[in-house]
Structure 1
Amino acid sequence: MPTTATVLGQHERRVLHAVGCGLRDDEIAADLAIPEDAVAGHLAGILAKLGLRDRAAAIVHAFDCGLVVPGSGPRTGEAGRAPATAAARATAGGPARGAGPAPVYGPGPGPVPTVRISLLGPLQVRQDGRSLNLGHLRQQAVLAALALGAGRTVSRRELLDGIWGTEPPHANVVPVYVYRLRKALRTGGGPAPVIEHDRCGYRLAPGTFDVDVAHLERLLADVARADRAGEATEVVRLCTRALDLFRGEPLAGLPGPLAEAERLRLTERRIAVVQRKSQWQLRLGRHFEAIAELFALAAAQPLNETVAVMLMRALCRGGRRTEALAVFAHTRRRLAEDLGVRPSRTLRGTYEEILCGDHLPAAGLPVAGRW
């Protein structure tokens, strides 16, 4: 492939540099003080001279040739001393025109604004009370993978495998997405990057983010301690707080093997919390509350036999034997129609116990596994 330095003119190098930084045509036109149609013309010439397919290929090429450095912002010197946006200058370490001294990375004299990342539902990122736009789904999946890493450095290979699976794109797509995410996540409009980069990969900078999954894990540790101590009311209270963190299906809509595996893991986590809470509600004699919560979970998980067993036993404990048998009939029908399978041995056994009038104590609910 032809090299950038020998093939492109000065204006074309400036345009390629700006394209690599993720700028739109109107932003490039404003930065370079040229008409927007001239930007389109330069880009068409760049694609033709370098044998590139489209704008995405041009972005990757800008990283490949060193015009834009992953994790460090644009190299303005190699772009023919191209004018840069305030964000690009800040990333490169230089001051923006009219913006005063160059900003310093890291926390300032005041507290660093926290980026709140919610994964227990569709991905949502909020900063200072406002929701941030993080681009298309695979770009969002990159941020989700870093958030799930809980501050651990995640390698580029892990991101490619976790988000694209067996059909990964060019490896330089990752730094392009990270660059765009850093722009979207720039704390409080300042320069400090929320996403850090080193030779091993990427991670969320400590102290700049707050992830709901981490809150969930801390609450579940407290639940386990209260459970071991037999503190029924405290278990119920903590489980309620944990369940309040869920806003729907975890990581809803995000692509890739990592998101799918985490969806399953976090969904099972939620079921275990409901299960633990229901056990203690029934022991406290709060049958109505336990049954209402289990009905809601069964509606969301109609093919989950563990949930059906929990609901049937809770209904039986509450003196609602007929409704418990109806839950079995409904679940059996859904399993046959949707999956073409029969109820499991556990579900059938619970049905037979209820049908025969066997006593089902509160402790007979399925025991929740470890968090």
Structure 2
Amino acid sequence: MRFEVLGEVRVLRDGEPVDLGPAKQRAVLAVLLLHAGRTVPTHQIVDAVWGYEPPENGANVVQKHIAGLRRLLDPDRAPRTPSELIALTPAGYVLRLDGHTLDADQFSAAVAGAATADAVRVALAFWRGEALAGLTGPFFDAARARLAEGQATAWERWAELELGRGRDAALVPELARLVEQFPLREGLRAHLMIALSRCGRQAEALAAFQSARSYLVDQFGTEPGELLQEAHRRILRGEAPPAYVAPLPPVSPAPYAPEPRPARVRVRIPYGEIAFAVAVPIVTFTVGAWVYFLYAAARYHDRKLYLAVALYVGMLATWLTCIALDPTPEDMNDTTTTDVIGMTTIVATAFFSAVHGAVVATHRAAVTAVTAALSARSGGGQLAAGNILDKLD
């Protein structure tokens, strides 16, 4: 069988996809794959799959999903016999890949052995999309970020080899796309500046540096690292900067190995965004409660926030409908029970949406800080890694 995590999690048996069952069962398999060959305690599986909302009988639910996976992945196993694929140990469950393959391992090995740009592109073909696509939660977000670092490093390696072949002009559009996909990678931005400079497009190369600086200052309050600073100085002096050499990603499954200790991250509180989130529903008297969430959904590309937009727009529509259908004459001076309930609902909604917006803004700042710290800790040419760690750790 072939196991894949560089895209949607799936299993192929003789080239045909295996139906992995419910979404949570697929997530349990993903946790085991990310620790392939290593025992995972049951409570860690529960934490990874269900996060802050674990089921009351988490161990039993995990056992049920493990049994389902065994039936699907090892159908020839005799009933009531130990599974060799997903084994139960005193410490937890372990998935053994003996005789099977995992695309993440194949990708790392292929990149490590690639001596040409074409060979690196062959390795990158293992990626079918965003790693662990469709799986949500802090555990999968962190694993996805670590896997993406290996992909970004491979792209840096490919660009370096292509620059060595003198394919500067052909590289520019591809590097521009990669910079947008991996904005924290200093190596990719440096390669783009080098390619532009070698094509005689110094002004655009300098603009690429200013774009990197603006991104860093806006997102993290820090300046570009030495790699980009040196490339910038060389372009200003009219010198052709040398190509940045990207270190190879490890062959072992280190991209998703557990950290030896949790990273200490200092979150940069976005006071302006929090003030905006709190002020809009209060100033607009609930009418604009949806505005901040629409802004946040678009900025952070979080589809869940669009549900909040729909919620507050729906509440506003309900409120306006009630006003339009209120049979109470407008010239009555007495305050009715309906008026009191309506006013209380409006005030409560304004307060709740203000608190909700402040929580979302703070949470997104924490996620951004953790992602940056993980990127910096993984090494290998990310944008201003040292400076970001100075700010966050």
Q: TM-score range by the shorter chain?
A: 0.5 to 0.7
Report the equivalent of 2:32. 146
Report the equivalent of 2:8. 122
1:323 is aligned to 2:211: no
What TM-score results when the alignment is normalised by the length of structure 1?
0.56
Aligned pair partner of 1:280 in 161, 172, 182: 161
1:131 is aligned to 2:17: yes
Change (3 A) 1:370 1:125: closer
- For 1:187 and 1:330, how far apart are their aligned partners in 2? 54
Deviations 1:165-206 (A, max 9, x none): 455433222112212222332457987954232333222344
- For 1:220 and 1:205, how far apart are their aligned partners in 2? 23
- For 2:215 and 2:247, how far apart are their aligned partners in 1? 25
Question: Partner letter of residue 87 of structure 2?
Answer: E
Change (3 A) 1:369 1:166: farther
- For 1:356 and 1:300, how far apart are their aligned partners in 2? 30
Aligned pair partner of 2:43 in 157, 165, 180: 157
How far residue 239 of structure 1 moved from its aligned partner, in angstroms, is 1.4
Deviates more, 1:142-151 or 1:192-201: 192-201
SS class of match (2:113): helix
1:202 is aligned to 2:93: yes
Query: Which of these two proteins has the greater Rg computed from alpha carbons?
Result: 1
Report the equivalent of 1:236. 117
How far residue 356 of structure 1 moved from its aligned partner, in angstroms, is 3.7
- For 1:264 and 1:349, how far apart are their aligned partners in 2? 27
How far residue 119 of structure 1 moved from its aligned partner, in angstroms, is 0.8
Cα RMSD after superposing both structures: 3.1
Question: Partner letter of residue 162 of structure 1?
Answer: A
- For 1:261 and 1:340, how far apart are their aligned partners in 2? 19
Bigger relative contact order (CA 8 A; separation at least 6): 2
How far residue 154 of structure 1 moved from its aligned partner, in angstroms, is 2.3
Report the equivalent of 1:176. 64
Residues 1-371 of structure 1: matches in 2 within 5 Å?
Answer: 114=1, 116-165=2-51, 168-169=54-55, 170-187=58-75, 194-207=85-98, 209-223=100-114, 234-302=115-183, 304-334=185-215, 339=219, 341=221, 343-346=223-226, 347-362=228-243, 365=244, 367-368=246-247, 371=250
How far residue 369 of structure 1 moved from its aligned partner, in angstroms, is 5.8
Change (3 A) 1:370 1:340: closer
SS class of match (1:268): helix
- For 1:320 and 1:243, how far apart are their aligned partners in 2? 29
- Residue pair 1:138, 1:254 contacting (<8 A) in 2 also: no
Report the equivalent of 1:86. none
How far residue 308 of structure 1 moved from its aligned partner, in angstroms, is 1.9
Between the two proteins, the alignment pairs up a number of residues equal to 244
- Residue pair 2:7, 2:133 contacting (<8 A) in 1 also: yes
- For 1:343 and 1:187, how far apart are their aligned partners in 2? 56
Q: Identity rate of aligned residues, in percent?
A: 35
- For 1:356 and 1:305, how far apart are their aligned partners in 2? 21
Question: Partner letter of residue 194 of structure 2?
Answer: R
Question: Partner letter of residue 4 of structure 2?
Answer: S
Q: What are structure 2's unaligned runs of at least 5 residues?
A: 251-393
Change (3 A) 1:286 1:190: farther
- For 1:200 and 1:157, how far apart are their aligned partners in 2? 10
Change (3 A) 1:196 1:189: closer
How far residue 254 of structure 1 moved from its aligned partner, in angstroms, is 1.5
How far residue 131 of structure 1 moved from its aligned partner, in angstroms, is 2.5
SS class of match (1:183): helix
Change (3 A) 1:208 1:154: farther
Deviations 1:303-342 (A, max 9, x none): 54443223212322343323323333444555566x3745
Deviations 1:46-66 (A, max 9, x none): xxxxxxxxxxxxxxxxxxxxx
How far residue 265 of structure 1 moved from its aligned partner, in angstroms, is 1.4
Change (3 A) 1:358 1:216: same
- For 2:45 and 2:164, how far apart are their aligned partners in 1? 45
Change (3 A) 1:173 1:211: same
SS class of match (2:59): coil
Deviations 1:263-322 (A, max 9, x none): 111111111111122222222223345434423312322454443223212322343323
- For 2:20 and 2:236, how far apart are their aligned partners in 1? 53
Question: Partner letter of residue 368 of structure 1?
Answer: P
How far residue 164 of structure 1 moved from its aligned partner, in angstroms, is 3.8
- For 1:340 and 1:273, how far apart are their aligned partners in 2? 25
- Residue pair 1:196, 1:203 contacting (<8 A) in 2 also: yes
SS class of match (2:143): helix
Change (3 A) 1:206 1:273: closer
- Residue pair 1:251, 1:263 contacting (<8 A) in 2 also: yes
Q: What are structure 1's unaligned runs of at least 5 residues?
A: 1-113, 224-233
- For 1:276 and 1:303, how far apart are their aligned partners in 2? 16
- For 1:367 and 1:220, how far apart are their aligned partners in 2? 12
Change (3 A) 1:289 1:125: farther
Deviates more, 1:163-172 or 1:306-315: 163-172
Question: Partner letter of residue 73 of structure 2?
Answer: L
